[in-house]
Amino acid sequence: METLFTPYQALGGGALIGLASVLLMWTHGRIMGATGILAGFFTPSSLADWSWRAAILLGMVSAPVAYLLVSGNMPAFNVPVSTNMLVIGGLIVGCGVTLGSGCTSGHGVCGMARLSPRSIAATLTFMLTTAITVYIVRHILGM
Amino acid sequence: MKIVTAYIIGLIFGLGISISGMSNPAKVLNFFDLAGSWDGSLGLVMAAALIVAFVGYKLVFAQNKPIFDVNFYVPANRKLDVKLLSGAAIFGIGWGISGFCPGGSLPAIGNGSIEIIQFTIALIAGIFLAKAALKLFTKTAPNS
């Protein structure tokens, strides 16, 4: 499925992702990593620890509705893969981000911005394996 | 105040994800499909997020402590290891199969589609599965 190149939305949206990362470190002293925030939500160290995680997750989930109120449309959303691939992919993502201590937001944005060698290595690794996987799925298996 | 701030930060993050297309698997997968229907948008998302975070972090880390806490919670470990790299490699395989990363999927829950619910439940199951496996492994191999 073709998608349009959207440079302005990409730059603007990316800047907001970066801004949220900076604000969370400035106010709470925390890394804006989706994996860490989600995992800690289920295994919090205290009520205070749980509540800021819950508030962030709630903010994230309410974003599409805020987007709808401002623009009049829901964000573009097309899932070009089967339910089996979503579920298998989700399980694999969950295992990988737990072992690898982070995902695109935690390593790819926050860690890289701190010039952390671990995050730079992790980001290069997952970008490469994602591209290889997409190549295999689309061009070898033809799914 | 702390909770309200956290909510607003989550909202800003979610809007960034929604506007940029990171919660749209079709767009995410096309960024990685160099041999097919390539869409370079996500490269610009990463670049813009990184530049803002890099400059912003410099300002933030010039402070002694964050506003609502006594210290910054930043990983001190800078060494590469097999667990980190294998985890990252595994994550990429899952991202390539599904088109969702955790940061892209969480705001998409607000879209209310059945696909995102299916992915998110699997994601959470995967996190707990890996946590359980890690616990088992560290118990049987105390020297590692």
Q: Report the pLDDT value the prediction gives residue A13, as an integer from 0 to 100.
A: 98
What is the ipTM score, two decimals? Answer: 0.97
Q: Which residue of B has its CA nearest to A115?
A: B54
A130 contacts on B by Cβ (under 8 Å)? 32, 92-93, 95-96
DSSP-based three-state secondary structure for A89? helix
Question: How distant is the Cα of B98 from the closest Cα of chain A, in angstroms?
Answer: 5
Q: Report the pLDDT value the prediction gives residue A1, as an integer from 0 to 100.
A: 83
Per-residue pLDDT tens over the stretch A18-54:
999 999 999 999 999 999 999 999 999 999 999 999 9
Share of chain B above pLDDT 90, in %: 90
Q: Which amino acid is at A132?
A: I
* Mean pLDDT of all residues belonging to chain A: 96
Q: What is the mean pLDDT of residues A136-141?
A: 96
Report CB contact under 8 Å: A92, B47: no
What span, in angstroms and rounded, lies between the C-alpha atoms of A56 and A61?
9
Q: Report the pLDDT value the prediction gives residue B144, as an integer from 0 to 100.
A: 43
Q: Report the pLDDT value the prediction gives residue B57, as an integer from 0 to 100.
A: 98
What are the DSSP calls for A34-64, one per residue?
HHHHHHHHHS-SSHHHHHHHHHHHHHHHTHH
Q: Give the mutation candidate from B28, B123, B135, B144 for the A interface (greatest A CB count, under 10 A).
A: B123
Q: Does B36 touch chain A (CB under 8 A)?
A: yes
Spatial neighbors of B15 by CB under 8 A, at least 6 apart, are: A13, A16, A63, A66, A67, B107
Spatial neighbors of B40 by CB under 8 A, at least 6 apart, are: A5, B31
Question: How distant is the Cα of B139 from the closest Cα of chain A, in angstroms?
Answer: 16
Report CB contact under 8 Å: A29, B73: yes
Share of chain A above pLDDT 70, in %: 100
Per-residue pLDDT tens over the stretch B14-44:
999 999 999 999 999 999 999 999 999 999 9
Domain ranges, ordered by start, for chain B: 2-140
A76 contacts on B by Cβ (under 8 Å)? 21, 24, 26-27
Q: Does B26 touch chain A (CB under 8 A)?
A: yes
Q: Report the pLDDT value the prediction gives residue A65, as an integer from 0 to 100.
A: 96
Q: Which amino acid is at B41?
A: S
Q: What is the mean pLDDT of residues A128-141?
A: 97
Per-residue pLDDT of chain B (144 residues), as tens digits, is 899 999 999 999 999 999 999 999 999 999 999 999 999 999 999 999 999 999 999 999 999 999 999 999 999 888 999 999 999 999 999 999 999 999 999 999 999 899 999 999 999 999 999 999 999 988 765 554
**CB–CB contacts below 8 A, A to B:** 500
* A97: pLDDT strictly greater than 50: yes
Tokens of A110: 């926050």
